[in-house]
């Protein structure tokens, strides 16, 4: 069982992540994150990073001095060039 403070701090969003992040970034005084953990479809990692950092012309979602954790960022180095994954 989660502590009540932790349970109320975590919100699950089941939707398109790029669009959700874009909508958050459009809100001028919206939420910002101390930590952003990216573990999603690898094809969109650059978009997730750009939205987190504010490289899209929208406000950044990552707080000043925040941290981005990105899962499997080196996995492409172990794939065979002919691997279509």
pLDDT one-digit tens code per residue, 21-68: 999 999 999 989 999 998 888 888 899 999 999 999 999 999 999 999
User: What is the value of pTM for the model shown?
Assistant: 0.76
Above 70 in pLDDT, residue 77? no
Report helix, strand and coil shares of the chain as percent, to nearest 5: 35, 20, 45
The pLDDT value given to residue 65: 96
CA angle 78, 84, 85 (to 5 degrees): 65
């Amino acid at each position: 069982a989660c502590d009540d403070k932790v349970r109320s701090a975590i919100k699950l969003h089941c939707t398109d992540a790029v669009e959700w992040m874009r909508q958050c970034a459009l809100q001028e005084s919206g939420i910002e994150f101390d930590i952003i953990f990216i573990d999603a479809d690898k094809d969109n990692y650059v978009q997730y990073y750009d939205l987190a950092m504010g490289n899209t012309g929208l406000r950044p979602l990552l707080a000043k001095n925040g941290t981005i954790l990105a899962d499997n960022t080196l996995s492409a180095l172990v794939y065979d060039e002919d691997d279509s994954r």
